[in-house]
Amino acid sequence: MSSGAEFTLPKSKGSQIIESIFAPFAKLFAINKFVASATMAVFITLGLFFLMVALISLGDSSIKTDNSRKLADIIMPDRDIDTLLDIVDKPEEPEQQPEDIAQPEVDLQPLAGVDVSLPKPKANFTAGGSFFRDGEYIPLFKVTPIYPRRAQERGIMGYAIVAFTITETGTVEDVVPLEGWCGDPTDEATEYRECSIFNSAAERAALKLKYKPKIVDGNAVKVFDVPHKFTFILEEE
């Protein structure tokens, strides 16, 4: 082999294809560089355009279709509300009024001997004196206890005795029932029997009593263990 001989490698199929694609451009470059550049630019632009279209179509195929249904907004129309009853009729009065519960006659006199004469307060302007005279407690008003319904339904009469404390202001506290008796207080020949049916009513009534307090040395003082009798008598129909 002589030293002046040239050695060339065989071309692959890929290089042959590329060479065949760019061969026209090489000829154009040889003829006119500007025409060749413009033609190549158009070719590359078209290639990029088709490539983008292909990519977009592939991307759209992967997006899931939204099959959910959208609810339309509901708008309630304005409506005028009419009242069914403009005027309310007054209820009719019952033809027969219920019978009132008979109230007992109450004996409010204390059992112990008490001077019930009301001393007239007399001003005393002497130094160290008092504006009120000393005196015992005095009941100021009458209290009617509520007749027990059970005793009224059974026609039971009688009385109850309680004891309590009169405070410095004339109120009653610490009421304690002492004894209770059932019988007809209007009949002198009646035979009383011991009972407690009137005790609760007597206790509640005693708490409502009001007294003029006892005055000692010009000062109001408490009075303990004051006995009081409540008599329960049914009215005749």
Tell me the pTM.
0.46
Q: In the structure, what pLDDT confidence band is assigned to residue 158 with cuts at 50, 70 and 90?
A: very high
Q: Say what the pLDDT of residue 129 is.
A: 39
Please check whether residue 5 lies inside any domain of the structure: no
pLDDT, tens digit (0-9, with 9 covering 90-100), for 32-47 = 667 767 777 887 898 8
Between CA 219 and CA 155 the distance in angstroms is 46
- Determine what percent of the chain is predicted with pLDDT higher than 90: 40
DSSP string, 82-103: PPS-SSPPPPPPPSSPPPPPPP
Q: Tell me: do 55 and 121 sit in the same domain.
A: no
Q: In the structure, what pLDDT confidence band is assigned to residue 55 with cuts at 50, 70 and 90?
A: confident
pLDDT at 152 exceeding the cut of 80: yes
Between CA 137 and CA 171 the distance in angstroms is 11
Q: Tell me: do 132 and 226 sit in the same domain.
A: yes
Contacts of 111 (CB under 8 A, 6+ apart): 161, 227, 228, 229
For the chain, list the strands marked E by DSSP.
138-139, 158-166, 172-182, 193-194, 211-212, 214-216, 219-221, 223-232
pLDDT at 207 exceeding the cut of 80: yes
pLDDT at 17 exceeding the cut of 70: no
Q: Tell me: do 233 and 140 sit in the same domain.
A: yes
Q: Tell me: do 212 and 156 sit in the same domain.
A: yes
Specify the number of domains making up the chain.
Answer: 2
Q: Rounded to whole angstroms, what are the CA distances from 218 to 180, 210, 212? A: 37, 20, 13
Q: Say what the pLDDT of residue 109 is.
A: 52
Q: Supply the range of the domain harboring residue 43.
A: 13-62
Q: Tell me: do 203 and 106 sit in the same domain.
A: yes
Please check whether residue 184 lies inside any domain of the structure: yes
Spatial contact of 233 and 165, defined as CB atoms under 8 Å apart: no
